[in-house]
Structure 1
């Protein structure tokens, strides 16, 4: 269980998150929604240790993550697929995957499992990451994250700019991970995509979690989407 309590963080002394609390349970998908500037990406960065929290706590299975240097957080079982993917463009697909394996010292079996999830990447192992299509780059970013065999997977706008077939692939992968007990925290703006996979939806506004609701009680016409997301 990922448990965030009272998390405050920001940039250059200007707070963006104000006492955020959020729980992400194994085998569940927690979607985080909100307008631009609500603090969603800042929350992802704070969980990963890329942004130092000024107060509050982050625990995974009772182990404190807050205060750890950023390079240590993935070794504790948290992986991030960031907005914009941030691949090593000049490196090949195989080399990007190897970097993911090295983080938690995983071996060939994990590599093969990841490539089975994304067979198109197996066909492009010697191709530079920057030459892949947008959908293929998103596959690679997700594959690299899964090389950590994470307990918690953070996805920041993973379907942005993708064609429908790639969006379906991302959805199916999230559902497979959910079935294996991975806790998924998904930042997403597309209401339909959220309702297809989510167990709960946390609505953020002005750096706070304004409301958390079970997804099964929501529809695309639910007023919360207009109130907190503007759709």
Structure 2
């Protein structure tokens, strides 16, 4: 279980996160929603050590992650798919996947499992990643993160700009991962995508989690979507 408790973080003198607390449980998808500038991406970057927490704690199964250098966090089993994918564009699909495997010394067995989730990537292993379509690049970014065999997967706006068939594939992949016990934190603005896969929805406002709802009888007309997201 990943737990954030009373996190303060920001950039220089600009504080973005204010006493933010969040829990992501194994086998569940926690969706984080909020307006632009609310602090969603900063929260993910703080978990990954790219932004240092100024106060509070971040733990994975009671192991502290706060204070670790950024390159150490993935080795504890945190996979991260940032907005914009951040692939190594000049490297092939196979090479990008290999970099993911190297992070936690995973083997061909992990590689085969990941490629079974994204069969199209197997057809493009020798292709330079910068030449892939947007949807294929998103597949590769998720595949590279899954090569860590993560306990927790962080995704920042994974469906942005994608066609419906790709969004469906991402949703099916996350549901598969949920069944294997992976805890997922999904930053997303599409209510239709959220409602189809999230166990709980955390609404971020002004750098803190203002409200968390279990996804039982939520609909697009639920008032919090308008209050916190403006939908």
Aligned residues: 231
Report the equivalent of 2:16. 16
TM-aligned CA deviation for residue 206 of structure 1? 0.7
- Taking only aligned residues, the RMSD between alpha carbons, in angstroms, comes to 0.4
**Aligned mates of 1:31, 1:148 — CA distance in 2:** 21
TM-aligned CA deviation for residue 12 of structure 1? 1.2
Report the equivalent of 2:28. 28
**Aligned mates of 1:152, 1:52 — CA distance in 2:** 19
TM-aligned CA deviation for residue 135 of structure 1? 0.2
Secondary structure at the counterpart of residue 71 of structure 2 = coil
TM-aligned CA deviation for residue 13 of structure 1? 1.9
**Aligned mates of 1:70, 1:217 — CA distance in 2:** 38
Report the equivalent of 1:83. 83
**Aligned mates of 1:45, 1:217 — CA distance in 2:** 31
1:7 aligns with 2:3: no
TM-aligned CA deviation for residue 198 of structure 1? 0.5
**Aligned mates of 1:168, 1:78 — CA distance in 2:** 24
Unaligned runs of 5+ residues in structure 1 are none
> After the TM superposition, which parts of structure 1 deviate over 3 Å for at least 4 consecutive aligned residues?
none
Secondary structure at the counterpart of residue 145 of structure 2 = helix
**Aligned mates of 2:215, 2:80 — CA distance in 1:** 23
State TM-score, norm by structure 2. Answer: 0.99
In the TM superposition, 1:96-135 aligns within 5 A as: 96-135=96-135
TM-aligned CA deviation for residue 218 of structure 1? 1.1
Report the equivalent of 2:67. 67
**Aligned mates of 1:112, 1:77 — CA distance in 2:** 19
**Aligned mates of 1:14, 1:224 — CA distance in 2:** 27
Alpha-carbon displacement from aligned partner over 1:184-205 (angstroms, at most 9, x marks no partner): 0000000010000000000001
Unaligned runs of 5+ residues in structure 2 are none
**Aligned mates of 2:121, 2:42 — CA distance in 1:** 30
TM-aligned CA deviation for residue 176 of structure 1? 0.2
**Aligned mates of 1:151, 1:114 — CA distance in 2:** 15
TM-aligned CA deviation for residue 216 of structure 1? 1.0
State TM-score, norm by structure 1. Answer: 0.99
TM-aligned CA deviation for residue 117 of structure 1? 0.7
Secondary structure at the counterpart of residue 71 of structure 1 = helix
1:175 aligns with 2:175: yes
